[in-house]
Amino acid sequence: MATTTLTKAPRGYDPAAATPFLEQLDRVKGGLPGAGLSWLDGLRDQGRARFAELGLPTVKNESWRYTNLRALDKLAFQPASVADARFDVLPTVRADGATGPRLVFVDGRFRAELSSTAGLPAGVELLNLADALARKPDLLAEHLGRIAAPDDQPLVALNTAFLADGPVLHVPRGVTVEETIELVFVSVGSEAQPTAFHPRGLIVAEADSRAVIVEHHVGLGSCTTLSNGVTEVFVGAGASVHHYKVQREHTESFHLSHTAAKVAGKGIYDNFILTIGAKLSRNEVTSVLDGEEGDTHVSGAYMVRGGQHVDTTTFIDHAKPCCTSREVYKGVIDDQARAVFQGKIIVRPNAQKTDGYQQNRALLLSDTAEIDAKPELEIYADDVKCSHGATVGELDDDQLFYLRARGIDKAAARGLLIGAFLSEALEEIAEESVRDAFQSYVADWQNAR
Amino acid sequence: MAATTETVEQVRAVTEQKYKYGFTTDIESDVAPKGLNEDIVRFISAKKEEPEWLLEWRLKAFRVWQEMEEPRHWAKLSFPPIDYQDAHYYAAPKMKDRPKSLDEVDPELLKTYEKLGIPLREQEILAGVEGAEGKSPAIAVDAVFDSVSVATTFKAKLEEMGIIFCAISEAVHKCPELVQKYLGSVVPYTDNFYATLNCAVFTDGSFVYIPKGVRCPMELSTYFRINQANTGQFERTLIIADEGSYVSYLEGCTAPQRDENQLHAAVVELVALDDAQIKYSTVQNWYPGNAEGVGGIYNFVTKRGACRGRNSKISWTQVETGSAITWKYPSCILQGDNSVGEFYSVAITNNFQQADTGTKMIHIGKNTRSTIVSKGISAGRAQQTYRGLVKILPKAEGARNHTQCDSLLIGDQCGAHTVPYIENRNRTARVEHEATTAKISEDQLFYCRQRGLSEEDAVSLIVNGFCKEVLKELPMEFAVEAQKLVGISLEGSVG
């Protein structure tokens, strides 16, 4: 055993994997927006230091035991340059031809000419980070890095170190945004080398406000990209934020995402993620119920095939009494694909009258598909009602028989049952237009077989 | 003098702790010097007059252990570092040979078992007195006191049927080929920190072999007692059920009340061949420490059963009420087609107890089935975690698992956690997991109180109801004891 190790890396991390990222960072650092602002430099340095210390998590890390990031190590990602891609149609949940507030990011960089803030009520700010630094510096200084702290999350640390661009939404007290706000993230990459970008989002909904946000993540071409996004969501007292996301990148992309929400008293944070694309994806959602009578929904659906790997890791933190949480996740896994679901609910001491519900179900469609699930309850208060359920299995033979007996061919019957299975999760989406759009993505996936 | 002494003792019993097995036996013991090194391993092996292969195996394990890291990063347990050098690894009551009659057994030992509440009839049996064996035998006992097995009952009767039930140290001489073939075949010497330590320094334990087609006519039982201070207990149990056989095995344990923590790191290996069935029941009642969390046993146990044969079945039932810390995951490796694994558990933690316990069901063969029912009750300032793994390998077609984990919280200072792991690599397998956490409802309490039950009795009644699904799996001999234990363990947790 070596006795001359300088600093011992914490268990489950590979600090050596940090080196290529840090080298790139030092090259681009000076050109990052807001460089020279002391609080922002401080935040980035904190992220850099922590990432340098930890590096990438390994499978020995309890939270990463089922998702191996070694592929990232080998690919030597380079920071994205401004992609000059043209788009005929951008994805939207709106009816044909309709326009509305939208921010577009290509390889993590804002594209003003594709974006619009039309239709937003007065006082609502929808900006990219660089503009926000100029126009709302206090808002950023007050909120950035406050809930997605880099401490024990190496990928948040990495994102923080590279913090450069992303969407910023500020909804003032009592304002309801009627129009659905769309955030479009397009991965293009480069033929020359694998490309990495680290979009950083911030949503601040003040007391009694309301907003509906849809994130679209799509890919163009087939270049290898890594999107390592972090979004922080502040839900004020009595405010409600409906935050939906669909990820349909191509299967050469890596999609890592961390969404952290903090919900004040009587606030509602509603999150839904539909995952269809990417070679390897991980969605980490954290929702902290930080005031009494808060409510959070963390749900989603995923469909994977080929050699895809999808990881859903959720963390619901009942920090205050009388809050409710609901979580419904459903997944379909075909071919050699692998799905991971890790869902943790923690009920802190004194968070009495908590009502927590979690369900996760997966369908295996092939003999080589794999699911690893770890639903977790950690409870420190006694007057609580918490339950979780997990089931894993194949399509029900009886149900298939029922349909076949009615003259429906096997493929169509399977399609119907898979669609019905996923619908149960999609029903968690309260916004009808979003639900319909997401349903159509599910249908597209099924038809693509 | 008697009256005053008695009074003093009674008062102490009431005020100190309601752990009634907390006394010590004053008996002369052979104790190995403190510390852990190769010489100690050799010393133990020599004491047991072991063959060369076993000593080599122990030494291999010891060398592996020295390179191992204590598994502290994943279990939800916190305890100060253990100084593995500051304990005796061998302690045995002094006796010339294994006793052949009641007269040869040290009277202090007899008194100990009497005080532990093992019925007198049983105690006569324990000492192997002629005549006692003729009376309705229900249970054969192997009594392990510190590091050695002091007596095994009903051996002769069992031998008539070809059943071998004896101390493992005896089996090493009696049927070395069986021991050599199966020892470490389920829990290899490289398995984990505590199991590997056990491989190096295990002292005694029970050995059971049930021959082909034999249904063991009585319950087999081992009673573990830690007496000596500053000793660890490292027993090793090996049960082999040959084709078409059946055995029900019970394990009980207690320890004196001491202020320092004592280590118990046992390994239990079960092997079930074609059509064989093993039912393994445990009532674990090691000293849990006092109400302030001082003292108690660290119970770090590796229990694993291999369903090697077709249609074989292994069933674990455990009632865990004792120990300061429990780290225990009785598991089934379902290798044979159609084999069945079961895990029924009641774990009760009170005061400052910590338990991280659960099971692993590894489905390898076709149509393998497993059932997990876990009931956890946490009171006082205790922290309890259910941690279980259900793993379905690609060839386990038609595998089924159902898991039910329920936790009950009594008081707002305790914690109850559920961490199931599900890994499925077969499409046709079906895995279901359900978990709930709740507290005793006001309605239930009110209903009982209204009918004149005290609050403590009401809680005990409700908790017994909560655990019923598991308690009914216990053999009769244990079920009654277990129900009482449920009540005792929770004393002082309400009001």
pLDDT along chain A (449 residues), means of 10: 46 89 88 88 94 92 92 82 72 82 93 91 94 92 90 90 95 96 93 91 97 95 93 97 96 96 97 96 97 97 96 97 97 96 94 94 94 93 89 91 94 93 94 94 89
User: Shortest CA distance to B336 belongs to which of B310, B360, B318?
Assistant: B310
Which residues of A fall below an 8 Å CB-CB distance to B? Answer: 11-12, 62, 349-350, 352, 362, 364-394
User: Shortest CA distance to A262 belongs to which of A179, A326, A202, A213?
Assistant: A202
pLDDT single digits (tens) B459-477: 888 888 888 888 888 877 6
How is residue A170 written in tokens? 């500020």
Q: What is the ipTM of this complex?
A: 0.84
The verdict on residue A67 lying in a domain is: no
The verdict on residue A315 lying in a domain is: yes
Nearest CA in chain B to A348: B415
H or E stretch at B481: helix B476-489
The verdict on residue A218 lying in a domain is: yes
DSSP conformational letter for B464 = H
Report yes or no: B214 at the A interface, CB cutoff 8 Å. no
The verdict on residue A411 lying in a domain is: no
Whether residue B420 and residue A62 make contact (CB cut-off 8 A), yes or no, is: no
3-state secondary structure of A402: helix
Whether residue B409 and residue A385 make contact (CB cut-off 8 A), yes or no, is: no
Residue B122 pLDDT > 70:
no
The structure's pTM equals: 0.87
**Which chain A residues are Cβ-neighbours of B409 within 8 angstroms?**
379, 381-382, 384
Work out the percent of chain B whose per-residue pLDDT is above 70: 83
Report yes or no: B445 at the A interface, CB cutoff 8 Å. no
pLDDT value for A11? 82
How is residue B419 written in tokens? 């961490």
Q: Taking the CB of residue B451, how many other CB atoms lie within 10 A of it? A: 8
Residue from A347, A378, A394 whose CB has the most chain B CBs within 10 Å, to mutate = A378
Residue from B374, B390, B406, B424 whose CB has the most chain A CBs within 10 Å, to mutate = B424
Residue from B393, B422, B431, B493 whose CB has the most chain A CBs within 10 Å, to mutate = B422
Q: Which residue has the higher pLDDT, A174 or B154?
A: A174
Q: Alpha-carbon distance A355 to A385, whole Å?
A: 5
Whether residue A11 and residue B409 make contact (CB cut-off 8 A), yes or no, is: no
User: What average pLDDT does chain B have?
Assistant: 83
Look at chain A and report how many structural domains it folds into: 1
The verdict on residue A179 lying in a domain is: yes
pLDDT value for B125? 44
Whether residue A381 and residue B428 make contact (CB cut-off 8 A), yes or no, is: no
Q: What is the DSSP string of B28-70?
A: -EEEPPSS-SHHHHHHHHHHTT--HHHHHHHHHHHHHHHT---
Q: Which residue has the higher pLDDT, A235 or B290?
A: A235
Report yes or no: B370 at the A interface, CB cutoff 8 Å. no
Whether residue B415 and residue A378 make contact (CB cut-off 8 A), yes or no, is: yes
**Which chain A residues are Cβ-neighbours of B439 within 8 angstroms?**
382-384
Task: Give the Å distances, CA to CA, from B207 to A426, B122, B271.
Answer: 56, 20, 12
Q: Alpha-carbon distance A48 to B420, whole Å?
A: 35
Confidence bin at B255 (pLDDT 50/70/90):
low
pLDDT value for B124? 45
Range of the domain at A206: 75-395
Whether residue A384 and residue B409 make contact (CB cut-off 8 A), yes or no, is: yes
DSSP conformational letter for B145 = E
pLDDT value for A82? 67
Closest CA of chain B from A308, distance in Å: 15
Residue from A368, A377, A384 whose CB has the most chain B CBs within 10 Å, to mutate = A377
Taking the CA atoms of A273, A278, A282 and A288 in sequence, report the sign of the dihedral they define.
Answer: negative
DSSP conformational letter for B436 = E
Residue ranges of E strands in B97-245 = 139-145, 148-152, 164-167, 206-210, 219-225, 236-241
**A-B Cβ pairs (cutoff 8 Å, strict):** 120
Closest CA of chain B from A151, distance in Å: 18
Confidence bin at B285 (pLDDT 50/70/90):
confident
3-state secondary structure of B315: strand
Confidence bin at B219 (pLDDT 50/70/90):
confident
3-state secondary structure of B100: coil
How is residue B83 written in tokens? 């100084």
The verdict on residue A266 lying in a domain is: yes
pLDDT single digits (tens) B88-113: 888 877 655 555 554 566 677 667 76
User: Shortest CA distance to B262 belongs to which of B97, B91, B430?
Assistant: B91
Report yes or no: B161 at the A interface, CB cutoff 8 Å. no
pLDDT value for B151? 67
pLDDT single digits (tens) B393-413: 999 999 999 999 999 888 888
